[in-house]
Amino acid sequence: MQDFELQDELYEHFSFKVDKGQEPLRIDKFLMNRIENASRNKIQLAAKNGSIKVNNISVKQNYRVKPRDEIKVMFSYPPFENLLKPEKIDFQIIYEDRDLLVVNKPPNLVVHPGHGNYSGTLLNGILYHVKDLPENNTGRPGLVHRIDKDTSGLLVVAKSEIAMRNLSEQFFLKQTKRNYIALVWGSFKNKSGSVNNYIGRDKKNRMIMSVSDDQDQGKNAITHYKVLEDLNYVSLLECRLETGRTHQIRAHMKYLGNPIFNDERYGGNKILKGTIFTKYKQFVENCFKLLPRQALHAKSIGFNHPRSNKIMSFESELPNDIQLCLEKWKNYSKNN
């Protein structure tokens, strides 16, 4: 029994039920669109090893998926404890005491190890800085929340058991305050507003989240936004999270028709506003190069200290890539 459990931990499991409207498509191509950071070679190797099953039967990489197929995939990876090795990673510590630390995560840094990112994460770097971190219920020590790889900004980490319990409870009870700055496509009729609906994994593309008004399609998600600057083609927003769902702001902005600027996964990496003529197209492409990620920054975070109950509040400056891109848009909006 023990050997079986250890072996079972060596796999990451993915399961999909194919949509009824799915056109015939090779399963390797189908899975590449649904499993983050999974290369075609890795998918083909899994198929060769019999680790891709359709309706509980192993298939090869050239199998064509059909509507209502039930697909299960297993990828081997190192035992999780081997992923949590301390590594020297560059990140900025805003505040630290015996119970917690607040870090300013740079863009292009994954928060914790997972599929396709087995090392070089923020958590590996934190473990280099702090020897012993308290466990959470997902096996990721110290973490009480997270932000996306290409989102920059503030993250609080628990260093003690009391901090892990108390901060986790504050996040669960929506008692924390988290504000983000986002540069999004287009303008808004109302200068402030809220989005209150449900977010769940997209049925066709598991790497993104879909928004629905049906509570059976996900978890409740609430985002409050305020327009800070309207630059005609793009707008600068402050977004306040009442809940903390995966990709919440990114999915909500797409739902409103204002995807985050250069958010590839949610369609913000296309020219969505403005007439596409040569000079404008070149200008936008230059902005994409200047800011090669979604324009989203976790600017501030607030919570009660887990031991003293003192109100703690922290802010961070916009990173250079967002600042430079924003300045370009301000100048363009002023002169056109």
The set of catalytic residues is 148
Note the helical H segments in the chain: 2-8, 27-32, 40-48, 80-83, 122-129, 161-172, 248-256, 278-290, 320-335
Total number of residues shown for the chain: 336
The alpha carbon of residue 132 and the mean position of all alpha carbons in its chain are separated, in whole angstroms, by: 26
Assess contact for 94 and 155: CB atoms under 8 A: no
Residue 187 CB-half CA count within 13 A: 7
Task: State the Cα–Cα distance between residues 299 and 56, nearest whole angstrom.
Answer: 46
Contacts (Cβ under 8 Å, ≥6 apart) of 180:
151, 153, 238, 239, 240, 241, 249, 296, 297, 298, 299
What's the CA angle centered on 138, arms 206 and 301, to 5 degrees? 85
Residues 6+ positions from 254 with CB-CB distance below 8 Å = 211, 263, 266, 267, 268
Looking at residue 318, its amino acid is L
Torsion sign (Cα): 120, 121, 127, 133: negative
Bridge-based pairing state of the strands 152-158 and 296-304: parallel
DSSP character for 84?
Answer: -
Pairing of β 177-185 and β 209-212: unpaired
CA distance 168 to 223: 20
